[in-house]
Structure 1
Amino acid sequence: MKSIKLLSIFFLLLISCKKKEIYAQEPSKKEQKGAISGTDYSKESLDNLLKCGDYSYMDGYFTVPDNGCIYNPKTSNKLGNVEVYLIPKNRLNENIDFEKEESKVGKLNIDDLKKLYDIYVLIIDKRDLTYNANMDIPYYPKYPHKQSIFKWTNGVWKKILTLNISNDNNNEYNNWKSNVLGNSNIKQSNQDVVLKGDYSIKTKVESVETGEPIEITFYFNFEISQAILSIGTNNSLEAFCEGTYSVTQNKGIFKLIYTGEGTCTSDLEESSFFIKKENNQYYIKSKRFIDFEWHLLNRK
């Protein structure tokens, strides 16, 4: 009889622990206080996510790489699986040391991050996660699930969008990243950038002697508002329009116009060059090139 009583007490304790485990998944009264409209996330809990990991620089933004911040109630992330994106409000210098910039971002406090960056936080709520201790990522989303997107704007966290993810092939998530984060890179590139240093490109042009395609190398030395072109070829007749070019910029596209006093074509468009910057690389095209396509401009 005594053993039966002990067994009953054991089962009661076990049930009590299970209930506590279940209730632990529910937001506490403290979490509910000051919750963001339409969610059970407090301002403090969302703020804490900004320090959930080390940031890396991608194309135009900073983020916690790989799988972002995985749900872990023992850390600052008690909400779910999280992705954080920081888009600089001011353009970064093209010659910036990104490792130092990443270190700088990691040392900023939450208030400074809010001042310097447009911030997006994506959350798959913990209720939509499945636990498997044997996997590299112990918490992974169930299907279907929702992914909430928050933005820090006008001094508050606002839920701006909810993605409905039905399966692995759902495009809502990728479309959002392309539209928002992709545009962050365009926004960066559309602002004035400084092109300086020595660059070259080896490509095919139409020979002035034979009209046949020949390969020559163009060497450019760029300053802030001008460039000097020299041409690598064994035939001096092909080295026309060498010398000084003015450099202007409109919506992220550089245009080089010949201003030198050497031998050059009377066709202004044929003697001009266009340069753009994408993904920290420069590309060049000209009507002088046979295909008039964008080519990688190599830095010395």
Structure 2
Amino acid sequence: MNFKIKLLGLASLLIIAGCRKDLEKDVESEATEIQQETAHDFDKILKCNDYIITGDGNAFTTCYDNGCVYDPKGGNVFGNLVTYLIPKDFLFFQKHSGYIEKWDYEKLEAYVNRLSIEEFKKQFDIYVFLVDKKYLIPTPGYDSPYDFKEKYQTDLYQYQNNSWKKIDQLVSLQSGNEAMNWRDNFVLKKSNEISKAFFDKASKFKIDESWYRDYILPLESYEPSYNYAYSLKVSKDSTYVMERALNDMLIPLQKGDTLFLYHNKSLIGEKYTKNKMIPELKIVRVKGKYFIDGNIFDLENSISNKPGKYGFLVEEIE
């Protein structure tokens, strides 16, 4: 009896060891596959749909519905694709601020959609999330012509060094949100890396000492008891803006007679701006006077304060 038990135990150990070796081989081959270049050429389908701004405002995507749906007759022979364009230059949004009105990005989206594929490659890091056609099931009569199989794989490709390379993959279930969360977290991580690199560099930039002062912007409300004022302080050691629940640390970047102030972190409450690539505030110096403007100002409740050509003329406390 003991001899049989020992034989069974030995057999179990051999099976487990064999399975472990097979699993290690699968993982090794999968890792090798990810490092290889791909024969896929996504260039021709990069403009299959219009691009819209992402929820965080840091990138552009074809993400509504299923992105670019598998359509061999229309040129998409790959599967369902979602493409992201992440600006290589942190200052992309500031340089194209003329296309942005408050939080309305429609004109900026139109500008991006007019760009050629070659211009895409110059201005953006391009990522394609692909669910291969072999993981799709036809769904005639539904809003989307295809759905995912219960278990499917998403492959992530990046355009780099003049070719498309597979850089990651995820196996997930159709009933869960794992693939969507993985995708959103990846894009956010890449955007944050660009922001961090810029802020690390910008924190070392020098600005003219003439900007060092306190700026006060009072706004009158429809309700006299609700009159309020924004206080902005620019100093050698720190820059911040305050108004009741708002207390944001800022990073200044000078361009001639304009000081752009970017959101660094919120000390209390929630941040007022989603897109850290857009200046939270802007100060313009004109003939010794200072004007300030920004999307954070609550103008809907203000009765007498409207920005002029350069913004609001601010009171100064030197």
On the 8 A contact 2:213/2:233 being kept in 1, the answer is yes
Q: How far apart are the structure 2 equivalents of 1:181 and 1:135? A: 31
Counterpart mapping for 1:1-300 below 5 A: 41-43=39-41, 46-58=42-54, 59-67=57-65, 68-90=67-89, 91=91, 92-93=93-94, 95-97=97-99, 98-169=105-176, 171-184=178-191, 187-188=194-195, 191=198, 227-229=214-216, 245-246=233-234, 254-255=239-240, 274-275=248-249, 292-294=268-270, 296=272, 297-300=296-299
Q: Amino acid of the residue matched to residue 163 of structure 2?
A: V
Are the equivalent residues in 2 in contact too, given 1:147–1:164 (CA < 8 A)? yes
Deviates more, 1:71-80 or 1:165-174: 165-174
**TM-score (normalised: structure 1):** 0.55
Q: Tell me how far 1:127 sits from its aligned partner.
A: 1.1
What is the letter of the counterpart of residue 51 of structure 1? K
Partner Cα separation in structure 2 for residue 173 and residue 244 of structure 1: 39
Q: What secondary structure is seen at the aligned counterpart in 2 of 1:42?
A: coil
2:22 corresponds to = none
Partner SS, residue 187 of structure 1: helix
Change (3 A) 1:226 1:134: farther
- Does the 8 A contact of 1:41 with 1:79 survive in 2? no
The answer to whether the 8 A contact 1:131-1:140 is kept is: yes
Other-structure match for 1:7: none
2:134 aligned counterpart, secondary structure: helix
Q: Which segments of 5 or more consecutive residues in structure 2 lack a partner in the other structure?
A: 1-33, 100-104, 200-209, 221-229, 252-261, 273-295, 300-318
| Maintained 8 Å contact 1:283/1:294 | no
How many aligned residue pairs are there?
202
CA contact (8 A) 1:70 1:81 kept: yes
Compared CA separation, residues 248 and 160, structure 1 to 2 (3 A):
farther
Change (3 A) 1:190 1:159: closer
Task: Determine the C-alpha separation between the residues in 1 that align with 2:134 and 2:169.
Answer: 15
Structure 1: gaps of 5 or more residues: 1-35, 193-222, 234-241, 258-272, 287-291
2:249 maps to a residue whose letter is I
- Separation (CA, whole Å) in 2 of partners of 1:47 and 1:125: 17
The answer to whether the Cα contact below 8 Å between 1:163 and 1:173 also exists between their aligned partners in 2 is no
The answer to whether the 8 Å contact 1:284/1:294 transfers is no
Distance 1:181 1:284 in 2: 16
Asked if structure 1 preserves the Cα contact closer than 8 Å seen for 2:70 and 2:133, the reply is: yes
Are the counterparts in 2 of residues 80 and 129 from structure 1 also a CA contact under 8 Å? yes
Q: Which has the higher contact order (CA 8 A, sep 6+)?
A: 2
**Which whole-Å deviations, capped at 9, do the CAs of 1:64-90 have from their partners, x for residues lacking one?**
141211111111311100100000111
TM-score (norm 2): 0.52
Q: Does the 8 Å contact 1:249/1:255 carry over to 2?
A: no
Q: Structure 2: how far apart are the matches of 1:180 and 1:124?
A: 17
Given that 2:135 and 2:149 are in contact with CA atoms closer than 8 Å, whether structure 1 keeps it comes out as: yes
- Judging changes above 3 Å, is the alpha-carbon distance between structure 1 residues 63 and 96 closer, same or farther for their aligned structure 2 residues? farther
Q: Secondary structure of the residue that 1:298 maps to in structure 2?
A: coil
Aligned counterparts of 2:147 and 2:47: Cα–Cα separation in 1: 21
8 A contact 1:225–1:247 mirrored in 2: yes
Residue type of the partner of 1:109?
S
**Quick check: 1:131–1:138 contact (8 Å CA) kept in 2?**
yes
Q: RMSD value over aligned CA atoms?
A: 4.1
